[in-house]
Structure 1
């Protein structure tokens, strides 16, 4: 019996590849296994190769696997594209319809199964993916019963007969495999899962749920990969809590509409990716100068321009921090797991309102669309903080007087009335203004207002919880590895391999990029000999931030910008080479 394996299904988009992986993984999740899933897909609606790789384990895992134990192939392209990942003696379950072949010299075991033929005999070839699930289950020694609740949940609206037909397809796939199985396949039977009830969700769903739990009741947005799932989740859920989602004509409208809604006191977010973030830049500046809270989720993808819409990258970092013209206080947060995405979404709203600033919650495609096992969320941890939002009667104003909405205060944060509050009348404008909001070009006023805004965040680094997720295994280490977003799990899996090589490793995962946690990171840097930054971009943007904000000396980068996430093995190899040859 085995306690961990990697399974992948591949074919053409539109063939049910995603649903195959979904049903397979959901059933295993309900049996108490830990799972990590990553989809490769093309930026088109139908056609083009796609695959869904699911890692299954009896222990906690947080990264994609280096290799592949089982490949389910619906076409020859799936074998050709993914064969290099197969371990020695791996199993390829392939639809016999296309006469599958392995590359010359392959050590994998090809096992043709008539997925399409069996499905057609049961009523429709569309159920070939269910036959594949059944064959996979038989290989792993799983019972068909574990799939019933999942199939019922997915197909219940289509009636009980459809549920039973799909279960018949799973059983037929299992039966065919069991009756024709060859001894040479080896042992792929999984150890029992722990039976614990865990969530299995993508980062976008966790962020959307966090926004809902954090009090968000409105979302204007424009669909864009890989952020659309946030919008789609809230379209279903927000109306149940008195909220709504509006699909705007573009990202400019989405951002300005979010500013307007936040101005009225309604917690509002918008979400996009790099191209949409580019369009929002002027509006982000408007949020900054008008001191209206704003929460934006940026799910990074391959750029520039349209770039690689469905591929992994972390190249918006500097744009998020420096993209707006002029100088405003701004916060950029970077959750490093699906679970953190939930809690950080709540905190993004708290920070936006407490400091009256734009907050960008930065993720990447692997984190936004990658699916992870998540412990049950603790709603008791959620705290709603609204800062200086006024909810009591305001003092009378003298005739012709306006409320001092932009009052110069020691902490830089001014009292914030809701429009319509008696005695709360004030101007709001995107030009420089005095304390009442009236336009002003006075040099003294300009300096006073700029200084006021810019000192808002002086205390944030002291109050932000865990600006760096620290894994300090050694008081004095050879190497400090720094990462952001989805690289955390991969780095954590790589570290024991470096430790076996005799290299002492500490790890810091940055969760707050702006304002940068300089002192916290410097304290980690002071304990190590060498520093390397792991990031999915071509220019080492996070490395530049580390150099700018610390006294780190020489800092090296390990970069990947081919559209794919890092694998533990390649990180291990590159870190070892950098350290061994003195190039760090």
Structure 2
């Protein structure tokens, strides 16, 4: 056990030999609903403002308040942003988990704890800093009901002292967090300052970890994946949003509602130029989205695993009738209700073949908030180009956590509406056959309701139909139709982004990953090269169906490993 309560000057922080600079993880263990998220996000932003690459992961329970929650902040001078197994710093605020959290720390780590928990005799190989949170917060916040929220800022101040974070960065982070609520920002900063002053007076820093300014975040932004996807939908021209709330996708539509109310209002009339409907369930939500797509709107819904399961019937309908819609699946742990607030990648295989019968669906596989934005735009284009439901496969980690990113690029290319015939086109052609493969790519031409031409009408039916959209049960007609749909799926393959492949001369080990698994793989491959001299090839999937380059990659390596967030491999990969 390391003694910590000794008066020491602030200069000592930067005068220790053997410092570990800008390479640490901080885990904050609190209780859900205690207001810790503000303190955690402010701390994250303060480190980001120091120019240090940073990432934040929130591990929270599926209730409103009262259960344990953990927030991990990783600072890495090398830019690694995956969640690490170990943490160098623990802030223990939850009596229920404090001892277990402290016991899992590696030797040489640091634990800041509420003095009521009395952890300082728990281990001899960890530095413990005891903080009287209740005593310190009382003078700062006379209003008792606010104290449990404000007291968390005290550990921001303590960490600022111990890790050399300028208090001005904490202050700036608070002003950003509270925006126009200046009084709230100043109240919270006062609590942080009390924590800083207490640490400066009472603690001798005995650990080697510290943060020092860098220049690695200039021009970058902090944003969560759901907000990035919502922005992408705006730039993609979405006008109809139909949804049913489900964790972890709800914030995507909630954010989109805010954006659309701000930017999708007619300046002259003040009327909304969009429609947002909270449906009675997920099946109804997708039905509405498909109906809007049939009518010519750019439409979408967002959901997660259980919701996708409910949507299966309408996904098959959209595939067979050939209607455009975009479905954002923010994946979580299943099966059934599963773990609603934990991340996973368990919907990939299900969504690829979702619904009964022979169905196949295009999927985008974003790994970053930047791709949440750009692939949202691409998904709306693809849905209309190939006239089918298109999935964007995010997950809880990407969707709900805060990520560092370059600013998003404005999509300069015009929107791709696909094959839509006007009344003039119909008259010139003498009509049209909705499901006829005119161009040899499997994609027919469509008209939109209201097209002023009697030859423009067609009936959207989920039962058997011929090229003219007329009911048919003839086997040769059915076979020709589904064969064309397979051909259309191959057309989608050519329009989707191909894999990102990195490889050298070695051909022993190849790694395949997708989505947020990418960030752990990048770090692991560097570690294999640095510590073991093992050179690997890496193929990051960005979409399904896979490009031919994926098969070529597999054939080039003696051993190929697929890294994802699932327990079981699909049967065809065993």
User: 1:92-134: CA deviations, max 9, x gaps?
Assistant: 11122x2331574451111011223211211242311111111
1:151 to 2:151 alignment: no
Q: Could you tell me how far apart the structure 2 residues matched to 1:142 and 1:11 are?
A: 22
Aligned length: 537
User: Aligned in 2, Cα 1:63/1:210: closer, same or farther, shift over 3 Å?
Assistant: same
User: 1:170-222: CA deviations, max 9, x gaps?
Assistant: 11111111111214244524343445031112222222221111111221111
Q: Could you tell me how far apart the structure 2 residues matched to 1:325 and 1:11 are?
A: 45
The corresponding residue for 2:468 is: 436
Q: Could you tell me how far apart the structure 2 residues matched to 1:216 and 1:44 are?
A: 32
Q: Could you tell me how far apart the structure 2 residues matched to 1:382 and 1:477 are?
A: 39
Residue number among 407, 415, 433 corresponding to 1:376 in the alignment: 407
Residue number among 519, 523, 527 corresponding to 2:552 in the alignment: 523
The corresponding residue for 2:278 is: 247
Q: Does the 8 Å CA contact 1:58/1:191 hold for their aligned counterparts?
A: no
The corresponding residue for 1:307 is: 338
1:40 to 2:59 alignment: yes
The corresponding residue for 2:126 is: 108
1:120 to 2:142 alignment: no
The corresponding residue for 2:478 is: 446
The corresponding residue for 2:395 is: 364
Superposed counterparts of 1:320-469, under 5 Å: 320-380=351-411, 383-391=414-422, 393-396=424-427, 403-409=432-438, 410-423=440-453, 424-466=456-498, 468-469=499-500
User: Aligned in 2, Cα 1:392/1:71: closer, same or farther, shift over 3 Å?
Assistant: farther
Q: Could you tell me how far apart the structure 2 residues matched to 1:76 and 1:100 are?
A: 10
1:93 to 2:122 alignment: no
Aligned residue for 2:328, secondary structure, equals strand
1:508 to 2:539 alignment: yes
Q: Could you tell me how far apart the structure 2 residues matched to 1:106 and 1:300 are?
A: 41
The TM-score with structure 1 as length reference comes to: 0.87
Q: Does the 8 Å CA contact 1:393/1:422 hold for their aligned counterparts?
A: no
Q: CA deviation at 1:77?
A: 3.3
Residue number among 112, 119, 130 corresponding to 2:153 in the alignment: 130
Aligned residue for 1:287, secondary structure, equals helix
Q: Could you tell me how far apart the structure 2 residues matched to 1:427 and 1:355 are?
A: 18
User: Aligned in 2, Cα 1:26/1:382: closer, same or farther, shift over 3 Å?
Assistant: farther
Q: Could you tell me how far apart the structure 1 residues matched to 2:329 and 2:444 are?
A: 28
Q: CA deviation at 1:483?
A: 1.6
Q: Could you tell me how far apart the structure 1 residues matched to 2:400 and 2:121 are?
A: 31
User: Aligned in 2, Cα 1:218/1:102: closer, same or farther, shift over 3 Å?
Assistant: farther
Aligned residue for 1:265, secondary structure, equals coil
The corresponding residue for 1:181 is: 203
The corresponding residue for 1:215 is: 237
Structure 2: runs of 5+ lacking an equivalent: 1-18, 265-272
Aligned residue for 2:563, secondary structure, equals strand
1:533 to 2:533 alignment: no
- When structure 1 is superposed on structure 2, of 128-137 and 432-441 the one drifting more is 432-441
Q: Could you tell me how far apart the structure 2 residues matched to 1:38 and 1:206 are?
A: 17
Q: Does the 8 Å CA contact 2:51/2:217 hold for their aligned counterparts?
A: yes
Residue number among 487, 512, 533 corresponding to 1:482 in the alignment: 512
Q: CA deviation at 1:403?
A: 4.3
Q: Could you tell me how far apart the structure 2 residues matched to 1:103 and 1:237 are?
A: 52
Q: CA deviation at 1:349?
A: 1.0
**Over aligned residues, Cα RMSD in angstroms?**
2.2
User: Aligned in 2, Cα 1:143/1:447: closer, same or farther, shift over 3 Å?
Assistant: same
Q: Could you tell me how far apart the structure 1 residues matched to 2:356 and 2:92 are?
A: 50
Residue number among 55, 69, 75 corresponding to 2:88 in the alignment: 69
User: Aligned in 2, Cα 1:427/1:232: closer, same or farther, shift over 3 Å?
Assistant: same
Q: CA deviation at 1:496?
A: 2.1
User: Aligned in 2, Cα 1:296/1:380: closer, same or farther, shift over 3 Å?
Assistant: closer
Q: CA deviation at 1:492?
A: 0.8
Residue number among 266, 269, 285 corresponding to 2:297 in the alignment: 266
Q: Could you tell me how far apart the structure 2 residues matched to 1:245 and 1:321 are?
A: 27
Q: Could you tell me how far apart the structure 1 residues matched to 2:315 and 2:427 are?
A: 33
The TM-score with structure 2 as length reference comes to: 0.88
Q: CA deviation at 1:24?
A: 0.9
User: 1:439-460: CA deviations, max 9, x gaps?
Assistant: 1223332223222222112233
User: Aligned in 2, Cα 1:144/1:537: closer, same or farther, shift over 3 Å?
Assistant: same
The corresponding residue for 1:571 is: none
Q: Does the 8 Å CA contact 1:30/1:197 hold for their aligned counterparts?
A: no
- When structure 1 is superposed on structure 2, of 99-108 and 519-528 the one drifting more is 99-108
Q: Could you tell me how far apart the structure 2 residues matched to 1:229 and 1:476 are?
A: 44
- When structure 1 is superposed on structure 2, of 161-170 and 340-349 the one drifting more is 161-170
Q: CA deviation at 1:402?
A: 6.5
User: 1:140-164: CA deviations, max 9, x gaps?
Assistant: 2122111223322333444x33332
User: 1:236-289: CA deviations, max 9, x gaps?
Assistant: 112222334221110011100100111111111111111000000000011011
User: Aligned in 2, Cα 1:219/1:85: closer, same or farther, shift over 3 Å?
Assistant: farther
Q: Could you tell me how far apart the structure 2 residues matched to 1:329 and 1:538 are?
A: 23
Q: Does the 8 Å CA contact 2:52/2:213 hold for their aligned counterparts?
A: no
Q: Could you tell me how far apart the structure 1 residues matched to 2:431 and 2:135 are?
A: 77
Residue number among 29, 37, 48 corresponding to 1:18 in the alignment: 37
Q: Could you tell me how far apart the structure 1 residues matched to 2:275 and 2:114 are?
A: 45
User: Aligned in 2, Cα 1:186/1:58: closer, same or farther, shift over 3 Å?
Assistant: closer
Q: Could you tell me how far apart the structure 1 residues matched to 2:80 and 2:275 are?
A: 36
Q: Could you tell me how far apart the structure 1 residues matched to 2:208 and 2:484 are?
A: 69
